[in-house]
């Protein structure tokens, strides 16, 4: 059996963390975002109309739940999201955003260390 090179190990780590981030994003979406939007629907508020299928609001919701401050002008209903967010939503958001950021940083480091040279 061949030994793995350091480049292959780096690639496995980056891809692995990125996949974990994707799974955590899916879990955050199904548990937290669905709950928050269900509570908002009870108040007659709809999810953002601009996000039909791409899921961009998931990262926006997660970031807002972590920071707990919202800008004066926001493209999501920040006040309602913070009002309905639970403690477990905060934990899921931290896990999702941190693994996403770690995978992006590692991908950039991997590119500069082992990327194409000319």
Q: pLDDT tens digits, residue range 57-111?
A: 899 899 999 998 877 777 788 888 889 999 999 999 999 999 999 988 988 988 8
What's the half-sphere exposure (Cβ side, CA atoms, 13 Å) at 34?
7
pTM of the model: 0.84
5/21 Cα distance (integer angstroms): 24
Residues with Cβ within 8 Å of residue 28, at least 6 apart in sequence: 58, 61, 62, 89, 92, 93, 95, 96
Residues with Cβ within 8 Å of residue 14, at least 6 apart in sequence: 103, 106, 107, 110
For residue 95, the Cα-to-chain-centroid distance in whole angstroms is: 8
Evaluate if residue 113 carries a pLDDT over 90: no
């Amino acid at each position: 059996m061949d030994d793995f090179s350091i480049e292959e190990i780096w690639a496995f780590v980056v891809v692995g963390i990125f996949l974990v981030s994707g799974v955590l994003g899916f879990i955050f979406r199904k548990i937290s975002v669905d709950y928050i939007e269900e509570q908002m629907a009870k108040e007659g508020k709809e999810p953002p109309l601009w996000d039909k299928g791409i899921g961009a609001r998931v990262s926006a919701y997660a970031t807002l739940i972590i920071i707990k401050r919202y800008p004066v002008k926001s493209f999501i209903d920040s006040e309602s999201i913070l009002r309905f967010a639970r403690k477990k939503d905060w934990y899921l958001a931290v896990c999702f955003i941190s693994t996403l950021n770690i995978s992006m940083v590692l991908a950039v480091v991997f590119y500069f260390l082992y990327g194409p040279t000319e």
